[in-house]
Amino acid sequence: MARADTLARAKELDRPELAYLVRFPAADGMKDMELTWAELARDTNWVTERLRGHGLAAGQRALLTTSGFEGFWGHTVIGALRALRVPYGIAEAMGWDHRRTAVFHRELDPDVVIGLSAETLEGLAGSADIGEMFRSASVVLARPAAVPLLRGAGVSACLMSAVGPALALECPERCGAHVNAAEWRVGERDGQLVIAAGEVRRSRLAETPLGIAGRVETGRCACGSEDPRVLLAQAGATSSSRS
Ligand SMILES: [Zn+2]
């Protein structure tokens, strides 16, 4: 059968609603949640608007570091970059793949760097000055442990973090990472973050302690968003120790 015929037949098949099973660490062990294609599409739209808020636009180039098991948010970032017509290269976020990050950085000269991990930075630091590498990017969204390393090297990094099954993305105001209030209820109990699924999520998730030290700011952000902001204790503690 010709390939075109195969694709035409495949298009007629029922598509299961389920896109991913998301496994995430909570205070009392690993939890699983279903993630549908419809939810993934809504999450992608939200990430697109957040990245647009950072000034991402056609003609820029992006470097994304992510691991395969992070598809529940990696897929949304890739979808957002495509929607914004920003070409991207992807390297693995684990430390052993830092050379691929270096190669993409050299070849792409990215305007936008998303998902940097402390492990990648530690690998790169053996042969490069991470400040010099990333200061020229107009947007750097990095993981919690990477943010203080970057800020210490003079890079205006913004925080991105998985908050259980949700993604938190800091805006240019850099006063906490926004979580999509239309999909999630994020809060704090005794200095720890908790999350629950909003009513629109197919998979139910009652309020779940995440074992992540932090607090939540509500109210309108200077960026104009009403989405609550997560401030992690770790990132806050280290940002004041910059030299
Ligand atoms: Zn904001």
pLDDT tens-place string over residues 177-191: 999 999 999 999 999
The C-alpha atoms of residue 53 and residue 61 are separated, in whole angstroms, by 16
**How many Å separate Cα 56 from the centre of its chain?**
15
Is 80 in a helix, a strand, or coil?
helix
Average model confidence (pLDDT) across the chain = 93
Which pLDDT score is estimated for 161? Answer: 97
Neighbours of 130 (CB within 10 A): 20
Instruction: Quote the ligand 1 centre to 118 CA distance (angstroms).
Output: 24
- How many domains is the chain partitioned into structurally? 1
The C-alpha atoms of residue 173 and residue 49 are separated, in whole angstroms, by 15
Which pLDDT score is estimated for 234? Answer: 67
Instruction: Quote the ligand 1 centre to 174 CA distance (angstroms).
Output: 7
State the pLDDT confidence band at 237, using cuts at 50, 70 and 90. very low
Average pLDDT score over residue span 50-75? 95
Per-residue pLDDT at 242 exceeds 70: no
The C-alpha atoms of residue 69 and residue 137 are separated, in whole angstroms, by 26
pLDDT tens-place string over residues 68-83: 889 999 999 999 999 9
Residue 36 lies in a domain: yes
Instruction: Quote the ligand 1 centre to 48 CA distance (angstroms).
Output: 14
The C-alpha atoms of residue 160 and residue 158 are separated, in whole angstroms, by 7
Instruction: Quote the ligand 1 centre to 198 CA distance (angstroms).
Output: 21
Tokens matching residue 182: 């239309």
Instruction: Quote the ligand 1 centre to 13 CA distance (angstroms).
Output: 42
Residue 1 lies in a domain: no
Per-residue pLDDT at 238 exceeds 90: no
pLDDT tens-place string over residues 116-161: 999 999 999 999 999 999 999 999 999 999 999 999 999 999 999 9
Per-residue pLDDT at 61 exceeds 90: yes
The C-alpha atoms of residue 62 and residue 224 are separated, in whole angstroms, by 25
Tokens matching residue 105: 């950085």
Bridge pairing between strands 62-65 and 112-116: parallel
Instruction: Quote the ligand 1 centre to 169 CA distance (angstroms).
Output: 9
Instruction: Quote the ligand 1 centre to 130 CA distance (angstroms).
Output: 26
Which pLDDT score is estimated for 10? Answer: 84
Are 47 and 74 spatial neighbours (Cβ–Cβ below 8 Å)?
no
User: Residues with beta carbon < 5 A to ion ligand 1?
Assistant: 171, 173, 221, 223, 225
Rg (CA), the chain: 18
Which pLDDT score is estimated for 1? Answer: 55
Residue 202 lies in a domain: yes
Average pLDDT score over residue span 59-73? 94
Instruction: Quote the ligand 1 centre to 30 CA distance (angstroms).
Output: 30
Residue 156 lies in a domain: yes
Q: What is the CATH number of the domain that holds 215?
A: 3.40.50.12780
Residue 228 lies in a domain: yes
Are 138 and 55 spatial neighbours (Cβ–Cβ below 8 Å)?
yes
Instruction: Quote the ligand 1 centre to 96 CA distance (angstroms).
Output: 33
Instruction: Quote the ligand 1 centre to 7 CA distance (angstroms).
Output: 42
Instruction: Quote the ligand 1 centre to 227 CA distance (angstroms).
Output: 8
Per-residue pLDDT at 168 exceeds 80: yes
Residue 74 lies in a domain: yes
Query: Whose structure tokens read 């989405």?
Result: 227
Instruction: Quote the ligand 1 centre to 181 CA distance (angstroms).
Output: 13
Percent of the chain with pLDDT over 70: 95
Instruction: Quote the ligand 1 centre to 225 CA distance (angstroms).
Output: 6
Cα-flanking dihedrals φ and ψ of residue 34, to 5°? -85, 150
Residue 104 lies in a domain: yes
Instruction: Quote the ligand 1 centre to 179 CA distance (angstroms).
Output: 10
The C-alpha atoms of residue 184 and residue 164 are separated, in whole angstroms, by 10
Residue 6 lies in a domain: no
Tokens matching residue 124: 């790169």
pLDDT tens-place string over residues 205-232: 999 999 999 999 999 999 999 999 999 9
Task: Look up residue 89 and give its DSSP letter.
Answer: E
* Range(s) of the domain holding residue 126: 18-239
